[in-house]
Structure 1
Amino acid sequence: MLAAPLAPARTTVTRTAYWVRLLPLLAALACLTRIPSFTRPLWNPDEGFLAVQARLLAQGGQLYETVVDRKPPLLPWLYQAAFALCGSGSLTPLRVLAVLAQLLTAALLASLARRRWGDRAGRTAGVLYLLVSVGLNPEDAQAATFEVFMLPWTAAALWCADRGRWGAAGAAVAAAFLTKQTGGAVLLPVAWLLHQRGGTRAGLPRLAAGCAVPVLGAALATDPAGFLFWTVTGSAAYASVTGSELHVLGRALTNAVILAVASAGLLPPVVRALRTARTAAAELWLWLAASALAVALGCHFFGHYYLQLTPPLALLATAALHVLPQERHLAAVLTSAGACALFLGWGLLAPRPELAHAERLATALAHRTAPADRVLVWGIHPETYWLAGRTPATRYLTAGLLTNYSGGRDGPRVGEEYAVAGAWPVFRREMAAHAPALVVDDSRGKPYTPGRLPTLRRLLAAGYEEVGRVDGAVLYARVPPGQRARLSPGPYAAPPPRPPAPSPGGAAPGRR
């Protein structure tokens, strides 16, 4: 009579002992692989964008109204909360949270693998994931941005679905979507598991409710119409590759090759699993396929998009390795560790010229303006606002939202006519309501230069004069109204009248 209750107790002790041994290992590895992230004040413009958003929200800004981006709200809110607790002068708290996010993802993958294939498989999945998670350009892999915080939710969705917890699985899918839209791709393998386990009648309503309630709550907590526009319907022009086909293809192949190098220990067993089709469940392949589709969605193929592939790759490799001899396990881990070491060295040693440029520009901007002044940085480096401690004069933090320039897109589809719908009238109202004390033209010859944009060209010609240059960026100070009659002609000054009268908004030089 006394023996029966003891069996679950022994199982609990065994389970606890397993995690007591494994979690410190995964935590140490998560810290080790994220060391480079602490060596820079920031890694890419996404971090700068989020930091500026968080400051504006703390000052009373409203998401999707006076603070806008094409992303869901969870990460801006997380940045805002971290800044409220720890101050807004450093991203170190977000770096720590990114380490915890990676650790949680690894632990969930380990739990999934252990449940399916045993203790050794659990250790393998967690370790392989962390080793490959930094296998991209460091500005993509080490930044505390959307994909890093999305991945724990995607892993949690599979973890819950694997245990038949359909409401929780739906909530995890929603949280992944609310971190970045492409996180919602994990719904496909979750729905497949629901179908395979015959729980559609009872599980589907719970899954649907779990997905819908958090998304509706986020929409109501912001602005429903703005939420729908900025996260779903307002990015048609951004998703087009017209005029940039070769550039986008080159970026897609380059980042795929970089991830393949990092995954050198994982790909052979994954290929073996693909050939045999006996060592991995269909939902893992569906997870990988859905993640690949998410990478391609939007047709930009930035390196950080590829992080979404790493959890299913780690599980598929583990699925193949668990039926192979111990030495194959060791070879996969050692190969992955060697590749990880290369990427860590890259992160620690590679120069970051764009960061240095943004820091010099921020220093000049802070020197020429007062803390209460609003400024306009016309470029794709919103981190300049954060580094300088200055408030943007507009809700549009990059030139991309007003010109459709993004990631090296070339000229044919860059201009005012390709902006986010309705953006330029709002921009003109903001410039009239609180004209910036300083305008920084950081286009440096890119297709969004003010000379190609009639509205910005007229703004500079009417009330600003050049006061300095920093690394090719041009600084324009506002001229008091009484002095504007004496304003010396600058590169964007209006041309003298000449017959016949120019057509309205006359074309800028070089405009196509």
Structure 2
Amino acid sequence: MLAAPLAPPRSVVVRKAYWARLLPQLAALACITRVPSFVRPLWNPDEGYLAVQARMLAHGGRLYETVVDRKPPLVPWLYEAAFALYGSASLTPVRILAVLAQLATAALLASLARRRWGDTAGRTAGVLYLLVSVGLNPEDAQAATFEVFTLPCAAAAMWCADRRRWGAAGTAVACAFLAKQTGGAVLLPVAHLLHRRGSPPGGVLRLAAGLVVPVLCAALVTDPAGFLFWTVTGSAAYATLTGSELHILLRGLTNTAILAVACAGLIPPVVRMPRPARTGSADLWLWLASSAGAVLLGFHFFGHYFLQLTPPLALLATAALRTLPRERLTAALLTSACCCSLFLTWGLLAPRPELAHAQRLAAAVAQRTTPADRVLFWGIHPETYWLASRTPASRYLTAGLLTNYSGGRNGPQVGEKYAVRGAWPVFRAEMAARAPALVVDDSRGEPYAPDRVPTLRRLLTARYAEVARVDGAVLYARVPER
């Protein structure tokens, strides 16, 4: 007679039941909070840049050589993979990946909170994070760009470190960095946990190996010198406050205020957190501080930078609320839900005039060129290449890389001499080897207009003639050589 199989331990049954209930709820909330992301073909130029990069990579482009940007390779590769599987005509597959990234972040935060403070805290952390994750301008919160894919990596790093899995924690930090450089800020709280828990030297070595090996592999798979230049050393002119200081400061204050509205249910308990509740949460405060430093880095203060603040804020609010009466938790959740509804409404109803302009411009370009023609858009909206389904004539997809016009900077540090180092000789070689059939000047009076950029002005004067205007943008067709 066979013995009956042993029943699984009660703790395993309870854990499975907990996640069987919580994960579907978090998944539903993640889908709801990302609904606005599916109502626009594009949300911001970063999505357009990534879409164009992915198409160029799919057609034989080489990252950091013929396809360049100041970002690490993970998200461009993600776009490329999504396009390879589902086609490049729509960003819907990438938007679905963004929903999964948000769900993964919420689940990891819930697991962290549950391990430290119990079942209720786990549910609270996951729900609070998803509610505040959309609390910015929709073009920042709903876009499927770098920060959205950085956050699950950062949360995974903290999750692994909390369980003393130092090699995996290092790998997660590396993935956060490879999604966006500032994602590497999570290394500080991870290192703090390593130090606080008195790990033997082997833990330090495992953390270092987990961090260094993936980054080295990414550099070797692309171009090591190009990887180093474009992700670390080549952005000195970009990462400065000089030029339009008041404008940039105003943007920072505005986005801080917007996020504060979204976090209206979280900030009061965090600010009033009693000292006993802070015990054991030093790593979370360090995570919040390092994320704030990441927001400040570069002095641009774009809204999507602020997304890095939301995971540690959700955990700190959870830590604070667990010591307060239950009605305070209910009030925090209700306030956060109301604020979330406000931002979702904004996302569904907000007009996108720049998208409409890019669509009209793309239609005009598609009408005047063939799919085999190369086009140069001289502006800061690379999404027009993607909308027009035309191949860029240059690896530099925005005028910002060639003039340092970026982040609203319109002060003295805009012009050819402030371009990415070595960019203009490469650009001139590109124009000589295979001149674009059409050049679109979309500067519309900004300081990077061709009359302020001698090289481009000479090119247009010598080889092109104006053929049309669309919403202030000027289209130049190549004049046949005699």
Whether TM-score is above 0.5 comes out as yes
SS in 2 for 1:412: coil
Letter in 2 for 1:138: P
1:179-207 Cα offsets, whole Å, 9 max, x none, are: 00000000000000000000041200000
Letter in 1 for 2:218: A
Equivalent runs, 1:306-325 vs 2, <5 Å: 306-325=306-325
Residue 362 of structure 1 aligns with which residue? 362
SS in 2 for 1:481: coil
Residue 195 of structure 2 aligns with which residue? 195
Letter in 1 for 2:392: P
With 265-274 and 430-439 compared, the bigger mean Cα shift is at 265-274
Distance in 2 separating the partners of 1:345 and 1:157: 33
Distance in 1 separating the partners of 2:449 and 2:200: 55
Letter in 1 for 2:350: A
SS in 1 for 2:273: helix
Distance in 2 separating the partners of 1:345 and 1:275: 38
Residue 330 of structure 1 aligns with which residue? 330
SS in 2 for 1:78: helix
Distance in 2 separating the partners of 1:303 and 1:259: 9
Residue 177 of structure 2 aligns with which residue? 177
Residue 398 of structure 1 aligns with which residue? 398
Query: Does structure 2 conserve the Cα–Cα contact (< 8 Å) formed by 1:295 and 1:301?
Result: yes
Query: Does structure 2 conserve the Cα–Cα contact (< 8 Å) formed by 1:273 and 1:280?
Result: no
The CA deviation at 1:481 is 1.0
Query: Does structure 2 conserve the Cα–Cα contact (< 8 Å) formed by 1:415 and 1:452?
Result: yes
Question: Gaps spanning 5+ residues in structure 1: where?
Answer: 483-512
1:376-401 Cα offsets, whole Å, 9 max, x none, are: 00000000000000000000000000
> What RMSD over aligned residues (CA atoms) do the two structures have, in Å?
1.1
Residue 272 of structure 1 aligns with which residue? 272
Query: Does structure 1 conserve the Cα–Cα contact (< 8 Å) formed by 2:385 and 2:391?
Result: yes
Residue 212 of structure 1 aligns with which residue? 212
Query: Does structure 2 conserve the Cα–Cα contact (< 8 Å) formed by 1:135 and 1:262?
Result: yes
Residue 449 of structure 1 aligns with which residue? 449
Residue 499 of structure 1 aligns with which residue? none
The CA deviation at 1:241 is 1.4
Equivalent runs, 1:147-158 vs 2, <5 Å: 147-158=147-158
The CA deviation at 1:276 is 6.0
Distance in 1 separating the partners of 2:14 and 2:332: 27
Query: Does structure 1 conserve the Cα–Cα contact (< 8 Å) formed by 2:102 and 2:148?
Result: yes
Letter in 2 for 1:122: G
Residue 350 of structure 1 aligns with which residue? 350
Q: Matched residues, percent identical? A: 79
Distance in 2 separating the partners of 1:175 and 1:257: 30
Distance in 1 separating the partners of 2:412 and 2:337: 44
- Distance change (3 Å), C-alpha of 1:280 and 1:249: farther
1:185-236 Cα offsets, whole Å, 9 max, x none, are: 0000000000000004120000000000000000000000000000000000
Residue 305 of structure 2 aligns with which residue? 305
1:299-350 Cα offsets, whole Å, 9 max, x none, are: 1000000000000000000000111111111100000000000000000001
1:16-47 Cα offsets, whole Å, 9 max, x none, are: 00000000100000000000000000100000
1:350-388 Cα offsets, whole Å, 9 max, x none, are: 100000000000000000001000000000000000000
1:279-298 Cα offsets, whole Å, 9 max, x none, are: 55100000000000000001
Q: 1:250 aligned to 2:250?
A: yes
Query: Does structure 1 conserve the Cα–Cα contact (< 8 Å) formed by 2:174 and 2:214?
Result: yes
Letter in 2 for 1:471: D
With 270-279 and 240-249 compared, the bigger mean Cα shift is at 270-279
SS in 2 for 1:443: coil
Residue 508 of structure 1 aligns with which residue? none
SS in 2 for 1:273: coil
Letter in 2 for 1:353: P
Distance in 2 separating the partners of 1:346 and 1:365: 31
Letter in 1 for 2:208: A
Question: Gaps spanning 5+ residues in structure 2: where?
Answer: none
Letter in 1 for 2:214: P
The CA deviation at 1:240 is 1.1
Query: Does structure 1 conserve the Cα–Cα contact (< 8 Å) formed by 2:277 and 2:323?
Result: no
Equivalent runs, 1:56-75 vs 2, <5 Å: 56-75=56-75
Letter in 2 for 1:85: L
Residue 282 of structure 1 aligns with which residue? 282
Residue 238 of structure 1 aligns with which residue? 238
The CA deviation at 1:277 is 5.7
The CA deviation at 1:243 is 2.1
Q: Deviation above 6 Å: which 4+ runs of structure 1?
A: none
The CA deviation at 1:273 is 1.8
Letter in 2 for 1:293: G
Residue 435 of structure 1 aligns with which residue? 435
Distance in 1 separating the partners of 2:384 and 2:293: 33
Query: Does structure 2 conserve the Cα–Cα contact (< 8 Å) formed by 1:109 and 1:311?
Result: yes
Residue 410 of structure 1 aligns with which residue? 410
Letter in 1 for 2:421: A
Q: 1:474 aligned to 2:471?
A: no
Q: 1:132 aligned to 2:132?
A: yes
Distance in 2 separating the partners of 1:351 and 1:140: 14
SS in 2 for 1:56: helix
With 177-186 and 404-413 compared, the bigger mean Cα shift is at 404-413
The CA deviation at 1:411 is 3.1
Distance in 2 separating the partners of 1:100 and 1:253: 30
Query: Does structure 2 conserve the Cα–Cα contact (< 8 Å) formed by 1:280 and 1:319?
Result: no
Q: Which has the larger radius of gyration?
A: 1
With 48-57 and 238-247 compared, the bigger mean Cα shift is at 238-247
Residue 82 of structure 1 aligns with which residue? 82
SS in 2 for 1:318: helix
Residue 142 of structure 1 aligns with which residue? 142
SS in 1 for 2:412: helix
Query: Does structure 2 conserve the Cα–Cα contact (< 8 Å) formed by 1:381 and 1:398?
Result: yes
- TM-score (normalizing by structure 2): 0.98
The CA deviation at 1:278 is 3.2
SS in 2 for 1:264: coil
The CA deviation at 1:271 is 0.4
Distance in 2 separating the partners of 1:465 and 1:258: 45
Distance in 2 separating the partners of 1:280 and 1:139: 36
The CA deviation at 1:408 is 1.2
